[in-house]
Amino acid sequence: MTTANLRLDGKVAIVTGGAAGIGEAAVLAFARAGAKVVIADCDVKGGERVLGAVRAAGAEGFVVACDTSRASDVESLVRTRLDRFGRLDCAVNNAGIQGTIAPTAECTEENWDRIIAINLKGVWLCLKYEIEAMLRQGSGAIVNVASNFGIVGSRGMPAYSAAKHGVLGLTKTAAIEYAKSGIRVNAVCPGPTKTPMIGKILDAQPDLAAVIDGIEAVQPIGRMGESAEVAEAILWLCSDAASIAVGSILSADGGYVAQ
């Protein structure tokens, strides 16, 4: 493998949930690798902030308001990108929510439906329209952002874990369906990761700092991951350096699921 294999010069990428956290880090990794990046997010203001960093890196991009649980939004997202850049080389289906934490018997139907709609249906909708675009050009790489809780269960997160397990099933299915069409579909499974969401939770509930300490204590590497570390894994899966990776489930969790 050479450094050149990690370059994405001239390629076009979409990152959903690109206005913060892992999505933002992925956007910036693609920009630094030479790609043109479409930042898709409900938070347009946050997307514009990230776009400023993309341009500062010397890359081209734009922001599209998108609710990935709505087919019309996702179809419009892909169409807008095609109108602007004419092709789609890479897609990172990262948009997702945690939802309310509660045991299975206490999870509300509203909470279940919202989490499944965004975290699972949203990934399927993205795959549907991204694959259609990539089939027309005969190539492409897609990375679905799942979770370590797509591999193992998590107390208090039944809908989230179910959705992320579903994302891995979608990944494997789409991967074997379209591999011979030149489209690679893979997934990355982050573990506990430092994102703005964690900061907001601690600001609102400082007593949860001990919980965070507990999470870090059970990590084999002794700390939470950084968004940029997960982004590098995503970049690799989308690059030519990962040309043999098809249907792969890459854990980027500091060893959590290896225990």
Q: What is the pLDDT of residues 156-180, one digit of tens each?
A: 999 999 999 999 999 999 999 999 9
CA–CA dist 238, 192 (Å, integer) = 22
89: three-class secondary structure by DSSP: coil
3-class SS of residue 111? helix
- Position 198 confidence tier, pLDDT thresholds 50, 70, 90: low
- Give CA 8 to chain center in angstroms: 18
Say which CATH superfamily domain 3-250 falls into.
Answer: NAD(P)-binding Rossmann-like Domain (3.40.50.720)
Among 12-21, 67-76, 195-204, 227-236, the range scoring the smallest mean pLDDT is 195-204
- Report the distance separating Cα 191 and Cα 196, nearest Å: 15
Distance CA 101, CA 208 (A): 14
Axis-axis angle for helices 21-32, 227-238 (nearest 10): 50
Q: What is the pLDDT of residue 45?
A: 98
Beta partners for residue 226, in sequence order: 194
- The pLDDT tens digits of the residues spanning 24-70 come to 999 999 999 999 999 999 999 999 999 999 999 999 999 999 999 99
Rounded Cα distance, 26 and 193, in Å: 14
Q: What is the spatial order of strands in the sheet that 249-252 belongs to?
A: 61-65, 36-41, 12-16, 90-93, 140-145, 183-190, 249-252
Separation between Cα atoms, residue 222 and residue 194, nearest integer Å: 13
Q: Is the pLDDT of residue 235 over 60?
A: yes
Sign of CA dihedral 185, 117, 65, 229: negative
pLDDT: is 1 or 186 the higher one?
A: 186
Q: Is the per-residue pLDDT at 91 higher than 60?
A: yes
CB-based burial label for 216 (10 Å; 0-12, 13-18, 19+): middle
Its sign, for the CA torsion 195, 110, 148, 1, is negative
**Per-residue pLDDT at 212:** 72
* pTM given for the model: 0.93
Question: Nearest CA to 145 among 184, 97, 91, 187?
Answer: 187
Is 256 catalytic? The answer is no
